[in-house]
Amino acid sequence: MRILVCAKQVPDTNEVKIDPKTGTMIREGVPSILNPDDANALEAALVIKDENPGTEVIVMTMGPPQAAEMLRECLAMGADEAYLLSDRAFGGADTWATSATLAAGIKKVKKVDLVLAGRQAIDGDTAQVGSQIAQRLKMPVVTYVEDIKIEDKKAIVHRQMEDGYEVIEVQLPCLLTCVKELNEPRYMSVGGIMDAYEQPITTWNHEDIGLSPEACGLNASPTQVFRSFSPPAKGVGEMITGTNVSEIAGNLVSKLKEKHII
Amino acid sequence: MAIKVIDEKCIGCSKCQKSCPFDAITIENKIAVIGDACTNCGTCIDVCPTDAILQEGTEKIVRDLSMYKGVWVFAEQREGKIMPVVFELLGEGKKLANEIGTELCAILCGSNVGGLTDELFAYGADKVYLADAPELEKYTTDGYSKVINEAIGIYKPEIVLYGATHIGRDLAPCLAVKVNTGLTADCTKLEIDPDDKKIRQTRPAFGGNLMATIVCPGSRPQMSTVRPGVMDKAAYDPSKKGEVVKLDAVFEEGDIRTKVLEIVKTTADIISISDADFIVAGGMGLGKPEGLELLKQLADKLGGTVAASRACVDAGWADHNIQVGQTGTTVKPQIYFACGISGAIQHIAGMQDSDLIIAINKNENAPIFEVADYGIVGDLYKVIPAIIDELDKLGK
C-alpha cells in the first residue's frame, strides 16, 4: 500500500505577538512548524505502516525552499519519501490553485492508494485544500476523520460532527482529512533524524508536474486578497477591586444586577 | 495581478518588509524584493514612502458574468430540521440581495423535506430549489455536491452562501472545484462593493491576528462559508410565501462513493456553546483539569454552560466541542466569563462579540483584560467560590 500525506509548513500562530503601538502582528522570531493536523495525518499513515509492513509513506508539500526542513522532520518521524513542490510560479496561490498544484504532484507520484491530509492549516484555517485535491483526483473524500480502520480495499472511518460522529465506509483509493482527535503524533527518533539528512528530497517545479505558469499560483487563483488589516481593538473595560475577595465578588454581582443581567 | 518594485525609486528603507503580513519581502542590495509568499494584499504599497511599489494587472480571460443572478443560501438540514445558521444566512443573504437588486433563494436537499420550504419562505427566501430523493436522506459529499453542482450549472447564481458547519465546510470546497470558482472560508463579514456590486468577504487569518478581505473578481458564483453565530438571524414572517423549483435528483450506481453506516450522538445532554446565554470558560490558568468542575458550578448557578480555550483542549482537559476560538466555535453569549484565560488572539476572535465579558486572571497584564468589560485580578479558585456565594445570597 502506498500512502501519500499532504503537509504544510506554517508559522506557529500561537506564538504570534501583536505590536502594542501599531496593533500589527510581529512575525519576527515566530517559529515555523509542521502544521498540527498534518502531523496527525502523518501519524495515521505511520500507524498503518507499523501494522502493515511493506507500506510506503510519501510526504508532499508545496512551499518555499525552506519547507524542506519540515519534510526532513517528516522523514525523521518515519516517512519513506519526500517531495517539495517549489516554484516562484506557485506563489500567492489560493486554495483552488494550491489544490491544483498538489493534485498534479500526486498524479505524477502515481499509484497512491490513500491520500491523507490535515483538516486545515493553522495559518489560514480554511479546510478547503484537502477536499479540493480529492475532487481533482476524482477520489471520494471524507473530512474531519477521527478514526481510521483499513479493511482490504476499503476504509471504515469516523467523521467528527458537532454533536458526535458518523461511521462511514469508503472504497480505496480515497482522500481523508484528519483531525487532532485521531491520534498523538510520535516524536522524531534519534536514528530517524540522522537518516533524514541522508535521504534525498525531490523538488519539482511547474514544468516537472506539467502545469503552465498560468495554471498555478496567483495567476490561477479565482480569489484575491483585496486588503488585509489588523483586527480592531475593543475599548478598555473596568477593573473590579475590593479589600478582599468577597467584597470583589460582591461588587461584581451588584454591577451585574445594576445592568439587569442577573 | 502581481506586486512589483520599481528599483529606481526604492530607497531600501525596509518599511515594506516590516509591514508585510506574510513575510514575503526581503531587502537585497538596498532594494526590496518580493518573494514567493506574496499574496498580493497590497499592505506594502500603502507604507512605501517613495511610491516604489505597484500592483500590476495581468490579463485574464474575462468570462461573461452578467448571466449569473440571485443570492443562494444552502439550507442545511439534519434529520428534517433546518440548522440555525441557515436563518442567519437568510438574514445576511437578504441584505446582499437587496443591495444588488436581486432575489434571495434557498437550496434544500434531503429526503421528504418538502415540508421545510414554508419555513424558508417565512425567513425571507423568495424561491426554494428543492432536491428531494431517498439518496439524499443522509448527507454525503458526492450526493449533495452532484445535485447542487447541476443546479448551479442550470440556474447560475451570483452568490452562494454556506454555513461553516462540518457539513458546509465539506461540501463547499468540493463544489468550488466542480463549478470552477473561488471560495472564501469562515467569513465573519460580507458586504457589497457599491461600485461594481461584487461581494467583499472578510475573514480572520493567522489565528485571528490578521483580517483579510477577499474578492472573487473573475469567476461565478462567488462563494463563501460563513461562521455560525456571527450574522443576525432573518426576521420571521409566516405569511410570506414563495416559489418552489424542483430539481432533478437522479442517481446512478457509483455516483455516491461513501456510505454512512451509523450516526452516533455523543453530546445530546450538553447545551451547545453556540446557543448558550451564559458561558464560563477556562484556560490553562486552571492549572488542572478538575478546575472545570468549579466552572461548572458557576455555570449551573447561571443556567449556562462550560467552555474552554484551545490550550485546555490541546492539553486533553476538555473536549473539542466546547472549544471557543478561531479554530473552535464562535460564541456571543450575554455573559462570557474568561477564567484563567490569558487571551491569545485566536481565542479572542471567537468570543469578543459577547455582550459582556468578565475576565478573572492572576496576571494583571494578561491581554484578556483588553477585551474585558469587567476585570478581576486574583486567584480564580478564590474568586469564583466568592461569586457563587454572592449569587446564593441573591437566592439564585
Owner of C-alpha cell 490541546: B314
Q: What is the pTM of this model?
A: 0.79
Distance, in Å, from the CA atom of B4 to the CA atom of A92, rounded to the nearest integer, reads 13
Give me the pLDDT at residue B58, please: 44
Would you say A106 and A137 are in contact if contact means Cβ atoms under 8 Å apart?
yes
Q: What is the 3-state secondary structure (H, E, C) of B255-279?
A: CCCEEEEEEEECCCCCCCCCCCCEE
Nearest alpha-carbon partner for A102 in A73, A62, A69: A62
How do the domains of chain B map onto residue ranges?
3-55, 65-246, 278-393
Of the CATH numbers 3.30.300.30, 3.40.50.620, 3.90.1150.10, 3.30.360.10, which one belongs to the domain with range B65-246?
Answer: 3.40.50.620
CB contact under 8 A, B185 and A125: yes
Phi and psi at B161, nearest 5°, equal: -110, 140
Confidence bin at A78 (pLDDT 50/70/90)? very high
CB contact under 8 A, B258 and A140: yes
CB contact under 8 A, B200 and A226: yes
Average pLDDT over residues A70-93: 96
The complex's ipTM works out to 0.89
B134 burial type by CB count under 10 A (0-12 exposed, 13-18 middle, 19+ buried):
exposed
Q: Which residues of B touch A117 (CB under 8 A)?
A: none
Strand intervals (E) in B315-395? 335-339, 356-361, 374-377
Q: Which of A167-181, A182-196, B261-275 has the lowest mean pLDDT?
A: B261-275
Confidence bin at A104 (pLDDT 50/70/90)? very high
Q: Which of A23-27, A64-68, B205-209 has the lowest mean pLDDT?
A: A23-27
Ordered per-residue pLDDT tens for chain B, 396 residues: 578 898 888 999 998 998 887 788 999 988 999 888 787 777 888 888 888 888 775 444 456 788 999 999 999 999 999 999 999 999 999 999 999 999 999 999 999 999 999 999 999 999 999 999 999 999 999 999 999 999 999 999 999 999 999 999 999 999 999 999 999 999 999 999 998 999 999 998 887 778 899 999 999 999 999 988 889 899 999 999 999 999 999 999 999 999 999 999 876 445 678 878 899 999 999 999 999 999 999 998 888 899 999 999 989 999 888 999 888 888 888 899 999 999 998 899 889 888 899 999 999 999 999 899 999 999 999 999 999 999 998 875
Best B227, B257, B266 member to test A by mutation, with max A CBs in 10 Å, is B257
Give me the pLDDT at residue A240, please: 92
CB distance from B346 to chain A under 8 Å?
yes
Distance, in Å, from the CA atom of B247 to the CA atom of B245, rounded to the nearest integer, reads 6
> Matching CATH topology for B3-55 and B278-393?
no
CB contact under 8 A, B174 and A141: yes
Of the CATH numbers 3.40.50.300, 3.40.50.1110, 3.40.50.1220, 3.60.70.12, which one belongs to the domain with range B278-393?
Answer: 3.40.50.1220
- AA identity, residue B356: L
Would you say B206 and A225 are in contact if contact means Cβ atoms under 8 Å apart?
no
Confidence bin at A233 (pLDDT 50/70/90)? low
Would you say A64 and B36 are in contact if contact means Cβ atoms under 8 Å apart?
yes
Give me the pLDDT at residue B61, please: 47
3 state SS of B201: strand
CA dist B143 to B29, B126, B260, B340, Å? 56, 25, 12, 45
Owner of C-alpha cell 456553546: B273
Give me the pLDDT at residue A50, please: 96
Would you say B75 and B144 are in contact if contact means Cβ atoms under 8 Å apart?
no
Would you say B202 and B195 are in contact if contact means Cβ atoms under 8 Å apart?
no
Measure in Å the smallest separation between the Cα of B197 and chain A Cα atoms. 15
Distance, in Å, from the CA atom of B206 to the CA atom of B41, rounded to the nearest integer, reads 14
Nearest alpha-carbon partner for B33 in B55, B6, B56: B6
Specify the CATH architecture of the domain B3-55.
2-Layer Sandwich (3.30)
Distance, in Å, from the CA atom of A193 to the CA atom of A29, rounded to the nearest integer, reads 24
Give me the pLDDT at residue A143, please: 98
Choice between B2 and A216, residue whose per-residue pLDDT is larger: A216
Provide CB contacts within 8 A for B369, sequence distance 6+.
A237, A239, B343, B359, B361, B375
